[in-house]
Structures are given as C-alpha cells and as structure tokens.
Amino acid sequence: MKLAELLENRIPTSIGDVEITDITDDSRKVTPGCLYVCIKGEKFDGHTAAEKALENGAAAIVAERDLGLGERQLLTDDSRAEYGRLCAAWFGHPEQKMRFIGVTGTNGKTTTTTVIKFILTQCGYKVGLIGTIENEIGDEVLHTDNTTPLTYDLMALYARMAEAGCQFVVMEVSSFGLVQKRIGPTHFEVAVFTNLTQDHLDYHKTMEDYYQAKRMLFDVCDKAVIQTDDPYGKRLYDELNCEKWDYGTEGNFAYTPVSVKADGTTFRLRQSSGVMEISMRMTGYFNIANATAAYAVCKLIGIADADCIPALQSCPGVKGRCEVIPTGRDFSVICDYAHTPDAIENILENVKLYTEGRLICLFGCGGNRDRTKRPLMAKAAAKYADLLVVTSDNPRDEDPDAIIADILEGLQDAAVPYDVVTDRAEAIAHALQIAQKGDVIVLAGKGHEDYQIFENNRHTHFDEREVVAEALQKL
C-alpha cells in the first residue's frame, strides 16, 4: 500500500508514493519498508527509537514532535489516535463493515457480552466476540491475551471477522483499551455501562481517573444502556447527551427478582411495552442485571421479543462465572472469577440465598496489582461467608505470603473464622476436606483461567476443575 493511500490525506507528505510493507508501534518489530509510529508509553518513549528505526529500514516514521529526520518524518498531534486510524486503513477499514456493540464496567462485561452473542447467534446472525476469556468468530475460538487487544491485533481480528461474514461484533471494552486508544476509529451502535467498583487503581491511580477512562466509550456510540442502580452509572446517565436508556431496579428496563436457585433464576422485567416473567438457566441476582442489559441491547438493535426471550432463557451462561463444578458429593463447589471486593461480595451474597449449610469462600489476590484492594477483598468475603480459606492467586513477582499478610489486615476485626493455606491446590483440597453436607464452596478469583502466574511472567497450568476432581479422588 502506498503511504499516501494509508494516510488518507490526514498528513501532508512529499514521499506519498513510497510503498509501505507493514505498520508497527514496536521498535523491536521494525522491518524494511514498514511505517513506524512513535508512541510515548509509561516506561518507554518510542520517539527515542525513531532514528534507529529508519536505520533498520523503516520507510517513514510518524511522530508527535520534530526529531530532525527530514522528509521521512510525519508529524501528528496524537500518535496513539493516528496509529489506530493507520491500522484501520491498513486492514481496509473492517470497523466500517460490521455493527459494533461495546460493554464496559468493572464487573459483568464477560457475561453480558456472552449473552448478547448467544441471543444474536440464536437469531441467525454470525457474531464475533472479543473479551476476557477468549475471542470468537462464530463458532471458532481464538486465544486472547488482553480483554481489548492491542490496536494492530484488534484491527487484524476485525478483518478476520469481516472476511468470515460476521454481521455483529460484541466486545468487552476495557479501561486500558480506551485510555490507550486501542479501539482506533471503531464506532459503536450500542454501548453498555454495567458498574464501577475499585479495580486497576495501580494503573488509573484514582477512581475518578478510572471513571473517566470508562466514560470514553460513550463518546463513540449512538445509544447508551446504563446501569443506574450504580452511583457511577447514575452520574454517567446524567452527563450523557446521546440517546440513552437505563436499567436496574428502576428505569427503562426494570427488573424484579422472583426466585434465585442453584439451577436457575426467575425475574420480572418491566418496560414500556409491559411486564414479562423470565426464567433462565443462569443463577444469581447479578446475572439478572447482566441478562437485562443484554435484553436491552437486543431490543435496541431490533430483535423481536419472540426471538430474544427464548434465546435468553436457554443461555447456559459463561465458564468461570458462577460455574458449578460437579462433585458427586453432598456439598457443592462453585468457580467464579470474582477478583474485586464488589464482585466477591456479589457472588457470596447470591450463593448465600440457596446455601443450606455453611458458605465457604476460598480466595487470594493477584501480585503486582493494587495493594489497597487486598484488605477490602477480605472484608467483602467476610460479610457473607461462614468460613474463609485465604490462599494465593497469581502472585507474579511478589511473595505470596506477603500478599496474604495484606489480605489478613482486613480480617483483624472480623468474626468469621479463617484458614491460611498458601498453595492454592492444597487450599482447595483443604476446603473439600472440611466441607460438610449442604455446604457450598466458592472458589473465587480464577474463574475461566487455567493457569497461575509466577515470577518473570511464568505461567503454570492450573485448572480448578481438574484440581477439584483430583482432590476429590483422594478423599
């Protein structure tokens, strides 16, 4: 592709007829003939590698400041934003060929996007899914490293989806992805805000910064669906000028729980057209909110109730989200991704409703992440659990016992008893050993993940379903 074609008249250049062989913002990936985009990150400023990139064969560079590199230097006010536009153009603007639905928030993104995709698929559409657990092109499952992929990878994924015939793309849009402008020129037909609770403050520093990051999604959407039971959602709803709809215990789409059981949930949904009762396979009050958000989105894009409701009621849910692990015993085990104070409180509050015996919660906290969250996690877990098993999660470069010490600070005034077992597999075996008839064990924090992360980003296979099965065989 010629440079002038790639720039689409945004940046003047005297070398527009130069053939570009690739695009990158990673100085380590510069190849002869590529266009190198200089981006200033937290730890590395790509501008410092510009001259070396040209020496290594880059056809031109894009920069935010004059580096004295002559005609092969192209200047822009915002390298991140320009990189997104360039990547979109490089892949033939796939973001213009499909309809996009984005979901952001601290909790509920994965379930909401999965339910939306399930409904649309059941209605005959081919759908791409981009999210925390995996990416999907129709029935094809692809590995993912980031909730919102890096810019070049995201546009490449869009292109694959468009080529495969996807009509919709349903995606989780992370605060990282928004702040770092990974979504490029993507415009969303509908954007959803689920909630905002403490998370990622190691990156965003304050809740206000975190909120403003999430808010960015609603600058690039036609319609907004917002959970206004959440205080940040109420604030967002009041601030937006686009077409907007609210959901929660009140609002345009209002839900009222009828029953919550281990094998499913029933709730009433009230909207302008009337009230309907919905019974679904997913369990938990929080999944009533997620299902309502998914229903609202489908309604707004034109899916009829006659098609939407049966699909919603048959949706099996999401791996690692309030997932029941079979035990064949007289106690139950639930695996859930809950890794924030709000999420762990929500899952335990919901499971408590149908727990006949004791509610046992096993959890830890990730290393190299927000330390202030650790005692808050403990306090949240202690609010509903009858017994806690404190263990390791993904310690990364931190000492697991030091992380646990931070967690235990939140239990100093708690009345709930707790055991500490640092090794997570041993902790799970311990929880199974002490379980009694009618007890429910909630394994919180790992969910869909089938690995643990240790020092130097070393990943070790760790699937809690397998760990439970192996431990049960030894009982």
- Nearest alpha carbon to residue 351 among 341, 342, 361: 361
pLDDT digits (tens, 9 = 90+) for 180-202: 999 999 999 999 999 998 665 55
pLDDT at residue 263 greater than cutoff 80: no
| In the chain, ranges of CATH 3.90.190.20 domains | 323-474
Return the SS3 of 240.
coil
Main-chain dihedrals φ then ψ at residue 21, nearest 5 degrees: -95, -20
Of 159 and 145, the structure prediction assigns the larger pLDDT to 159
CB 334 within 8 A of CB 346: no
The phi, psi pair for 107, rounded to 5°, reads -125, 150
Residue ranges of E strands in 315-446: 323-325, 332-336, 359-363, 387-390, 418-420, 440-444
| β-bridge partners, 245 | 225
For the chain, give the percent of residues with pLDDT over 90: 85
Q: Which two tokens stand for residue 175?
A: 């605060």
Coil/strand/helix, residue 208? helix
pLDDT band, very low/low/confident/very high, at 303 (cuts 50, 70, 90): very high
Token pair belonging to 325? 């692990």
pLDDT of residue 326: 86
DSSP β-ladder status, 188-193 and 22-24 = unpaired
Give dist(CA 263, CA 317) in Å, integer: 12
Kindly report the number of other CB atoms within 10 A of residue 453's CB atom: 19
Distance CA 292, CA 436 (A): 35
pLDDT band at 422 (very low <50, low <70, confident <90, very high): very high
- Enclosing H/E stretch for 429: helix 424-434
Residue 198: the pLDDT is 64
How many CB atoms within 10 Å of residue 122? 16
Mean pLDDT of the chain: 94
Residue 146 has pLDDT above 80, yes or no: no
Element (H, E) at 250: none
Residue 426: per-residue pLDDT: 98
Whether the Cβ atoms of residue 265 and residue 278 lie closer than 8 Å to each other: no
Whole-number pLDDT of residue 7? 96
Return the C-alpha torsion angle 16, 20, 24, 30, nearest 10. -110
CA distance 475 to 463: 19
pTM for this prediction: 0.82
CA 274 to chain centre: 32
Cβ–Cβ under 8 Å, residues 308 and 298: yes
Backbone angles phi, psi at 383, to 5 degrees: -65, -35
Give the angle 101-289-215 at the CA atoms, nearest 5°.
Answer: 50
CATH superfamily of 3-90: MurE/MurF, N-terminal domain (3.40.1390.10)
List Cβ neighbours of 142 (8 Å cut-off, separation of 6 or more): 134, 135, 136, 157
Start-end of CATH 3.40.1390.10 domains in the chain:
3-90
Q: Where in the chain is the domain with CATH 3.40.1190.10?
A: 94-314
Round to whole Å and give the CA distance between 332 and 417: 20
Architecture of domain 94-314: 3-Layer(aba) Sandwich (3.40)
Q: What is the pLDDT of residues 1-35, one digit of tens each?
A: 999 999 999 999 999 999 999 999 999 999 999 99
Q: Are 220 and 188 in contact (CB under 8 A)?
A: yes
Reported as type and span, the H/E element at residue 358 is none
Residue 203 has pLDDT above 80, yes or no: no
Residue 100 has pLDDT above 80, yes or no: yes
Q: Which residues contact 363 (CB under 8 A, 6 or more apart)?
A: 338, 344, 377, 381, 388, 389, 390, 391, 393, 443, 444, 445
The pLDDT value recorded for residue 199 is: 60
CA separation for the pair 64, 154 (Å, rounded): 23
Q: Answer yes or no: is pLDDT of 60 > 90.
A: yes
**Mean pLDDT value across residues 349-354:** 90
Please tell us whether the domain made up of 323-474 is placed in CATH 3.90.190.20: yes
In angstroms, what CA-CA distances link 70 with 33, 45, 62, 66? 17, 20, 12, 9
